């Protein structure tokens, strides 16, 4: 139990610091969410090197009928699960800041940024009001008014993810195989061994977009993987496509389950400004049945009044409360402070300041200050 962990020096209060929102009472004044605008893109190569190119960008082509998502499972080059480090995003954000400062419009001004986070972490925060099963933990640092979020996976949880049950591992592969069937890396893909297959899955390779946006008054820098673009890449997010697989819907129960899942699909895409979600429905055997394209911004209207209904405004409102709570919590501390924020479904959120041993654990014998890489720390504390 986190509360009893020796790594935690101080708990703020004994009760939950920020309790679970009442889902039936969305705030009358939910915060606005600014349309994300892209700052930069980058690619991870097969050797997991980050480069400022679009080498990993893929184009949407659509999958063949009945495609077998278990194809080439034995050839999957699987990136090991690791701590969800923020380094890649900071590398990109650092470059954006330098480009801004060096820009010709005189004193290139870098805006006051309230939050820097991977999209996955922000999705977990915003969808927490409806999360009934999976809790999470994250690490938070604050440097000159900017909050940095990093997912915290315990050693046990990491091991669990790496030693995934064979059945779950195969199911997870289906999602990646769907990406291969749905995309092409250029007009010159090598001849496919099965129709539509654009190449074996290598989960090291990712194309990422970094956007700036705003939740209420908080400016945010968010980075995330983009599965593909429809048509030509325009340099913006307007033809990005998120690919998803899901079990075929056979009855009302399946349907309401899918509608619940749409909440996560929705925020994952919404946060990066991805306008389209292309879903492949599959049989338990991993064969595609049908596909359906969703317009991200239409999704809330589709689920309204349904059995699995959710309201995105509840999530945005919660997100704003969450940010206020974190800001108030870290206030007045040292820049080296690392906070462990823990979410428990149906209960709420607590924050605790890590002690020396806790911080050491986060640094993991790497060249870091807290969880921030030392080079980034040096650039931003000069
Ligand atoms: P599906 O979403 O089609 O299941 P993303 O959809 O975010 O682009 O992720 C691509 C695929 O990675 C997912 O495809 C899924 O197979 C796998 N994946 C993502 N998050 C996962 C998780 N937490 N556990 C297992 N697999 C995951
Ligand atoms: Mg993806
Ligand atoms: Mg996807």
pLDDT digits (tens, 9 = 90+) for 30-86: 899 999 999 999 999 999 999 999 999 999 999 999 999 999 999 999 998 888 899
Nearest CA residue ID for atom 9, ligand 1: 175
ipTM of the complex: 0.96
Cα-to-centroid distance, 170 and ligand 3 (Å): 16
Cα-to-centroid distance, 337 and ligand 1 (Å): 32
Residue pointed to by tokens 């590398």:
91
pLDDT at 13: 36
Nearest CA residue ID for atom 26, ligand 1: 172
What percent of the chain is predicted at pLDDT more than 70? 92
User: What is the spatial distance between Cα 202 and Cα 47, in angstroms, rounded to a whole number?
Assistant: 10
Residues with CB under 6 A from ligand 1: 172, 175-176, 178, 227, 244-245
Residues of the chain with pLDDT below 70 are: 1-16, 22-26, 104-108, 187-190
Question: Counting ligands in written order, which one lies closest to the CA of residue 277?
Answer: 3
Cα-to-centroid distance, 275 and ligand 2 (Å): 14
Nearest CA residue ID for atom 18, ligand 1: 172
Cα-to-centroid distance, 279 and ligand 3 (Å): 9
Cα-to-centroid distance, 247 and ligand 1 (Å): 13
pLDDT at 56: 98
What residues contact 93, with CB distance under 8 A and at least 6 apart?
Answer: 39, 116, 210, 221, 223
pLDDT at 105: 61
Nearest CA residue ID for atom 14, ligand 1: 175
- Is 41 buried (19+), middle (13-18) or exposed (0-12) by CB count in 10 A? buried
Distances (CA, A) of 92 to 15, 40, 86, 100: 38, 7, 10, 12
Cβ count within 10 A of residue 248? 15
From 73, 121, 172, give the residue whose CB has the most ligand 1 atoms within 8 Å, as the site to mutate: 172
The pair of three-digit structure tokens given for residue 58, joined into one six-digit string: 């893929």
pLDDT at 11: 39
**371, β-bridge pairs:** none
């Amino acid at each position: 139990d986190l509360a009893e962990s020796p790594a935690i020096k101080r708990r703020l209060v004994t009760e939950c610091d920020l309790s679970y929102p009442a889902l039936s009472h969305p705030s009358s004044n939910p915060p606005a969410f600014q349309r994300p605008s892209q700052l930069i893109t980058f690619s991870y190569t097969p050797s997991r090197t980050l480069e400022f190119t679009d080498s990993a960008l893929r184009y949407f082509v659509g999958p063949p009928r009945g495609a077998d998502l278990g194809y080439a499972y034995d050839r999957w080059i699987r990136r090991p699960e690791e701590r969800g480090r923020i380094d890649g995003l900071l590398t990109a954000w650092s470059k954006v800041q330098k480009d801004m400062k060096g820009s010709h419009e005189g004193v290139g001004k870098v805006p006051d940024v309230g939050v820097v986070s991977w999209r996955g972490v922000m999705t977990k925060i915003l969808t927490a009001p409806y999360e009934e099963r999976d809790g999470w933990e994250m690490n938070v640092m604050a440097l000159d008014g900017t909050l940095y979020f990093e997912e915290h996976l315990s050693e046990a949880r990491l091991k669990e993810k790496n030693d995934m049950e064979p059945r779950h591992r195969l199911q997870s592969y289906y999602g990646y195989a769907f990406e291969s069937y749905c995309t092409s890396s250029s007009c010159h893909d090598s001849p496919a061994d099965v129709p539509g297959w654009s190449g074996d899955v290598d989960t090291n390779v990712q194309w990422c977009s970094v956007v700036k946006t705003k939740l209420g008054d908080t400016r945010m820098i968010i980075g995330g993987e983009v599965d593909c673009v429809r048509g030509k890449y325009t340099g913006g997010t307007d033809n990005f496509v998120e690919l998803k697989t899901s079990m075929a819907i056979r009855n009302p129960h399946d349907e309401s389950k899918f509608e619940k899942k749409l909440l996560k699909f929705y925020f994952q895409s919404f946060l990066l400004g991805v306008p389209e979600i292309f879903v492949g429905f599959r049989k338990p055997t991993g064969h595609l049945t049908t596909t359906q394209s969703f317009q991200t911004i239409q999704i809330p209207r589709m689920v309204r009044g349904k059995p699995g209904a959710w309201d995105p405004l509840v999530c945005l409102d919660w997100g704003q409360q969450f940010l206020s709570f974190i800001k108030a919590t870290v206030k007045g501390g040292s820049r080296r402070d690392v906070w462990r924020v823990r979410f428990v479904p149906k209960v709420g959120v607590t924050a605790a300041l890590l002690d020396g041993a806790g911080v050491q654990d986060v640094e993991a014998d790497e060249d870091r200050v807290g969880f921030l890489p030392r080079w980034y720390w040096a650039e931003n504390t000069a």
